[in-house]
Structure 1
Amino acid sequence: MESNGDRDSLREQLREIERGELVSWVVYPPTPVWWTVGFGLWAAAFALVVGLLDGFVQSLAQLGLILAMFAAIAWDRRRRGTYPSGLPPRDFRRAILTMALGAAAVAGAAWLIGEQVGTWWAAATAGVGAGVVVAWYEHEYAAIAARLRERLL
């Protein structure tokens, strides 16, 4: 028969495991102010590359933009020291889904505007839309992370 001490010890071990799993999701340095603007500029540049360039030049420009995004992610990983891996905690899933749907909506709107109005308007839509989606996500993520940190302490 288990004693209360064993159950309490097991409960405490499970709590420590939960803390360890959550730490990379909730403990991180503040996001730089330029992060949102950078994503907006990147999205606008991507729309311009798709809309204005063709062939090999377009491929090179897209490769450059993809490498720039990988560089930004690598920089962020080094800055954070640890990076979330695995499935996100349940608390973050709604925000992540909303961000993904927002990004898809911005991409769709930019494509439609590009087809109906013009490439420059599509780039403006992509840039502003991506900036808004990333700003919202950063704000939501920070609020969720703060609640989780409070719960873990």
Structure 2
Amino acid sequence: METSRTHDGREREAALQQLQDIERAQAATWLDHPATPWWWAPYFAVWSGALVLSVGYLPGWGSALGNLALVAASAFLIGYQRRHRGTWPTGDVPQELHRPLWMLLVGAVAVMAAATALGFLVSVWVSAVVTGVLAGLLVWRYERDYARAAERARRRLG
């Protein structure tokens, strides 16, 4: 009887270890990637300010060409990330990363609202500068919070 309980305990431990291994493997694309480069937050600051100017200041074809240039810059960034990381994250997001991801989304909406309000109430140039600064700070903060949360997830998953 004692042997049966010991055997059941080992099976349970083995099953729990397998589940943890599966969770670790699923989280790998979210947790195991190179750090973003130093220019990441400044890139988003400049890009965001340029978007405000393109939409709010350039007339007609100028706006279209400005937006096309911003799309090209985004395509460059996506290509860079694919080469740098090797893959995009897939699967379930580890619990620890939920907060940084939500804060990035909420922050982006807040920056967009501030850009719109400043563009209408003050000037497009002021909006572009403030938007660039806010977007840069938002991305910097997100990267910092993401790195901390990813480290907590790595510790939890072993």
TM-score of the two chains, using structure 2 as the length reference = 0.89
**Is 1:101 matched with 2:106?**
yes
- Distance, in Å, in 2 between the alignment partners of 1:94 and 1:148 is 12
- Distance, in Å, in 2 between the alignment partners of 1:120 and 1:45 is 10
Q: Contact 2:26/2:92 (CA < 8 Å) preserved in 1?
A: no
**Is 1:64 matched with 2:69?**
yes
- Distance, in Å, in 1 between the alignment partners of 2:64 and 2:18 is 52
Q: CA RMSD for the aligned pairs?
A: 1.7
- Which runs of structure 2 are paired with 1:3-152 in the superposition (5 Å)? 3-152=8-157
- Matched AA of 1:100: L
Deviation at 1:37, TM superposition (A): 0.3
- Distance, in Å, in 1 between the alignment partners of 2:88 and 2:41 is 19
Higher deviation after alignment, 33-42 or 56-65 = 56-65
Report the structure number with the largest CA radius of gyration: 2
Deviation at 1:152, TM superposition (A): 2.2
- Distance, in Å, in 2 between the alignment partners of 1:98 and 1:105 is 10
Higher deviation after alignment, 14-23 or 71-80 = 71-80
- Matched AA of 1:145: A
- Distance, in Å, in 2 between the alignment partners of 1:41 and 1:73 is 16
- Distance, in Å, in 1 between the alignment partners of 2:20 and 2:76 is 35
Q: 5+ unaligned residues in a row in structure 1: which ranges?
A: none
- Distance, in Å, in 1 between the alignment partners of 2:15 and 2:76 is 42
Higher deviation after alignment, 82-91 or 92-101 = 82-91
Higher deviation after alignment, 65-74 or 39-48 = 65-74
State the secondary structure of the residue aligned to 1:96.
helix
Give CA deviations for 1:100-147 in whole Å, capped at 9, x if unaligned.
111111111111111111111010011001001101100000001111
Identity of aligned residues (%): 38
Q: 5+ unaligned residues in a row in structure 2: which ranges?
A: none
- Total equivalences in the alignment: 153
- Matched AA of 2:76: A
TM-score of the two chains, using structure 1 as the length reference = 0.92
Higher deviation after alignment, 35-44 or 107-116 = 107-116
- Distance, in Å, in 2 between the alignment partners of 1:4 and 1:85 is 33
